[in-house]
Amino acid sequence: MASTPLSLLSLLLLLSFSLICAKPPTLHLHLTTDPTTTTTTDTLPTTFFEVTKPIKLPNTKPCSTHILQHDFAYTYGSPPVSTPYSPPSTSNCPSNTFSRIVLQWSATCKGRQFDRIFGVWLGGVELLRSCTAEPRATGIQWTVKKDITRYYSLLMTNQTLDVYLGNIVDTTYTGVYHVNLSFHFYPNKLSENGLNLGTLDNKWADLIIPISRNMPMNDGLWFEIENSTDVEVKEFRVPQNVYRAVLEVYVSFHENDEFWPTNVVNEYVLDNNLTGYPGNGPFREVVVSLDGGVIGAVWPFTVVYTGGVNPLLWRPITGIGSFDLPTYDIEITPFLGSILNGKTHEFGFSVTNALNVWYIDANLHVWLDEKSEKTTGKLLTQNISPLHVSLVSNYTGLNGTFVTKATRSIKSTGWVQSSHGKIVTETTQKFNYTNIMVMAENADSQIVNQIIEFNDSVYAKIPSSVVSKESLKTFSFYIHSDTEDKGNGSYAELADITLGFNEKKIGNSGSKSFTSVLENVQNGQGSMFVKGNLVVSGLGSTQQMYKYGDDEFCYFRDVSSSNYTIIYDKEGHTCSKSEKSGFSFVIGKHWPFPARDRHAI
Ligand SMILES: *[C@@H]1O[C@H](CO)[C@@H](O)[C@H](O)[C@H]1NC(C)=O
Ligand SMILES: *[C@@H]1O[C@H](CO)[C@@H](O)[C@H](O)[C@H]1NC(C)=O
Ligand SMILES: *[C@@H]1O[C@H](CO)[C@@H](O)[C@H](O)[C@H]1NC(C)=O
Ligand SMILES: *[C@@H]1O[C@H](CO)[C@@H](O)[C@H](O)[C@H]1NC(C)=O
Ligand SMILES: *[C@@H]1O[C@H](CO)[C@@H](O)[C@H](O)[C@H]1NC(C)=O
Ligand SMILES: *[C@@H]1O[C@H](CO)[C@@H](O)[C@H](O)[C@H]1NC(C)=O
Ligand SMILES: *[C@@H]1O[C@H](CO)[C@@H](O)[C@H](O)[C@H]1NC(C)=O
Ligand SMILES: *[C@@H]1O[C@H](CO)[C@@H](O)[C@H](O)[C@H]1NC(C)=O
Ligand SMILES: *[C@@H]1O[C@H](CO)[C@@H](O)[C@H](O)[C@H]1NC(C)=O
Ligand SMILES: *[C@@H]1O[C@H](CO)[C@@H](O)[C@H](O)[C@H]1NC(C)=O
């Protein structure tokens, strides 16, 4: 089991230690700004936001439930905030079936505070993993809306809702997070048939089983993975009439692994006597096992939180995924044969090369055969290519180049016999990873260019037809940072960053087909002067291009900000056919990187 929740405390210690410690290689930290020295003439709170497509809603009036109002002051190490939850009742809502359900998190904060990770769980099932925005002296506000319709069956039952947001308030870090949480239930329109809106899943899961830590606790319900050998397990049991199952995995990385793509290899740490410096190289893999055997993996998108690299980059446009962290689905159906016996089984989570700490939990979505009490199944084949990681390093002292590459594929086939007939399901995950890291200027300069390809597919052979789903993802991460030690525990840093989240989804079911394309890229340029762990001056500029298209819907947004101000913001709902089918991978900057002068700020 996970041990004591010392994450944030040790983070603060680590921060003060790192910054007074020997001349460090470029180190990207959680930082916050000093409102006393970044005074502005603004008086209204700034609205922060993450760029994402609007949730497609039916043209019906929602039944809204205010779930929680809470002020998160000194909440670190306290139990989650809990409240009873009941679905809308006939007395407050004219409908009892809904085509969309939306979670809305609205918050304000004022003063100085770090970015804090938080989670929202319903009956132990995680609904949202998110990061708070960092406040400023004049105050901020932000809203996160998430489509939670896939948790439909759970949302129709009485449950306990828990929110854990571990915040620390003292005379320096004064920001209290004031939060409202609401759910909006959009009734079905008569013309709409059931719950199916543009996906191939013909309905949502009948039951969602939490694969998280059991209450009570003084922490989040996530498991904490502290090192590369740590395996956190959870026992569970499924009903005996399941015919399909999907494990939805939530992942976030913190402290020594918050910027894992920039972590250096251990030989470099040892050769340069950099004790305590985040190592284990830049490759990470989340491994999911069932009763001890590997069933799937997650090579996660590199979310940068709102205090990451340079906090001024994320004001007001926040980093991709930081307000609504991506989750990853692993199809479990081929393995159902081994868990339909009514006994308890065990999911396990580990992270290859992990340093303290990863927060991981999952939700098991299961579909039940309403026409039988027992289904049967069998795993037919499983091919797991061993993880292959290669490293080519060439360094002298603190200067050098490191190229890390990895590939992996996992393919599983199995059948399930239910009243739907005998369904044979084949699932494949294919991964490819490249990270090129350059350390120069005795490690005051670091350049990292990383690309992850993460392809998933599911083919299900039903007696009458074939259903297939594919998701092709490319996650890119680029950073160039130059640091200059200014003595007395202060430094100046310039950092350029590019984050890319691209995903193409293709589905086929009999005569129906579905395609969607997302290209989401952010570029940021930041400069800052840091004293202790406070940014005392600086500038952040960010540009983002978001393009989404599917068979029914199109959305783009081209937005830019600098020094808290939106420079331009173009939004649209039309796109050409070529834009819909185009799927070009945007890769930071290309090798070789241009030489660059360092400036003092
Ligand atoms: C940022 O904007 C503030 C006003 O809000 C201004 O005082 C400051 O000079 C600007 N900083 C830069 C680097 O442009
Ligand atoms: C929360 O809701 C209450 C009641 O509607 C409102 O007074 C308060 O300002 C809201 N707070 C936030 C942070 O949205
Ligand atoms: C759910 O909770 C509501 C409100 O507390 C209560 O009226 C109702 O009876 C509960 N339903 C069930 C099935 O327990
Ligand atoms: C890894 O973490 C686990 C869980 O905290 C702990 O029991 C184990 O001793 C750690 N192993 C190493 C090598 O530090
Ligand atoms: C690292 O420490 C060892 C032992 O103290 C010393 O011999 C060596 O020169 C040091 N190396 C560097 C690069 O400082
Ligand atoms: C290692 O780096 C040095 C200095 O940049 C270069 O001269 C040398 O050719 C490199 N060696 C290899 C094997 O790439
Ligand atoms: C993922 O799919 C794309 C598109 O088919 C392909 O170009 C790429 O090579 C695939 N990557 C892996 C790791 O399979
Ligand atoms: C992985 O990506 C690299 C670099 O883009 C490419 O050369 C290689 O062929 C890819 N491998 C696979 C298995 O897709
Ligand atoms: C590292 O590179 C810098 C200039 O980029 C140079 O001044 C320094 O001597 C180099 N260090 C080593 C150990 O080669
Ligand atoms: C460090 O701070 C002390 C006291 O504030 C000051 O006298 C000294 O000049 C500073 N040193 C540098 C390198 O800034």
Q: Looking at per-residue confidence, does 216 or 230 come out higher?
A: 230
State which ligand 7 atom lies nearest to the alpha carbon of 431: 13
> Cα of 230 to ligand 4 centre, how many Å?
6
Closest C-alpha among 314, 255, 263 to residue 15: 255
Task: Output the pLDDT for position 42.
Answer: 54
Average pLDDT, the chain: 87
453 CB less than 6 Å from ligand 7?
yes
Closest C-alpha among 482, 223, 266 to residue 360: 223
Averaged over 133-144, what is the pLDDT?
A: 95
Task: Output the pLDDT for position 186.
Answer: 96
**Which residues approach ligand 10 with their CB closer than 6 A?**
487-488
Averaged over 466-493, what is the pLDDT?
A: 94
Say which residues have a Cβ less than 8 Å from residue 396's Cβ, sequence separation at least 6.
none
Task: Output the pLDDT for position 585.
Answer: 31
Q: How confident is the model at residue 341 (pLDDT cuts 50, 70, 90)?
A: very high
Task: Output the pLDDT for position 31.
Answer: 67
Evaluate if residue 584 carries a pLDDT over 50: no
Tell me the domain boundaries of the chain: 8-581
* Residue of minimum CA distance from atom 1 in ligand 2: 180
Averaged over 55-61, what is the pLDDT?
A: 93
On the CB side of 315, how many CA atoms lie within 13 Å of its CA? 25
Task: Output the pLDDT for position 87.
Answer: 96
CA distance 202 to 204: 7
Which range is least confidently modeled, 7-16, 338-347, 350-359, 391-400?
7-16
The percent of residues in the chain predicted with pLDDT above 70, rounded, is 86
**DSSP-assigned letters across all residues of 246-285:** EEEEEEEE-GGGTTGGGPPPHHHHHHTT-TTS--S-S--E
Per-residue pLDDT tens digits for 102-118? 999 999 999 999 999 99
CA distance 399 to 438: 8
Q: Contact 431/299 with Cβ under 8 angstroms?
A: yes
Alpha carbon 273 to its chain centroid, in Å, reads 33
Closest C-alpha among 175, 500, 456, 100 to residue 288: 456
CA distance 321 to 302: 9
Q: What is the DSSP letter of 317?
A: B
* Residue of minimum CA distance from atom 6 in ligand 7: 472
Averaged over 129-157, what is the pLDDT?
A: 96
* Residue of minimum CA distance from atom 13 in ligand 9: 397
Instruction: State the burial class of residue 520 (Cβ atoms within 10 Å of its Cβ: 0-12, 13-18, 19+).
Output: buried
Evaluate if residue 2 carries a pLDDT over 70: no
Q: How confident is the model at residue 574 (pLDDT cuts 50, 70, 90)?
A: confident
293 CB less than 6 Å from ligand 9?
no
Evaluate if residue 459 carries a pLDDT over 90: yes
* Residue of minimum CA distance from atom 3 in ligand 1: 40
Task: Output the pLDDT for position 587.
Answer: 31
Q: Looking at per-residue confidence, does 420 or 361 come out higher?
A: 361
172 CB less than 6 Å from ligand 8?
no
Q: 352 has which bridge partners?
A: 285
* Residue of minimum CA distance from atom 12 in ligand 5: 272
CA distance 508 to 591: 38
Per-residue pLDDT tens digits for 543-565? 999 999 988 889 999 999 999 99
Averaged over 423-437, what is the pLDDT?
A: 97
Evaluate if residue 1 carries a pLDDT over 60: no
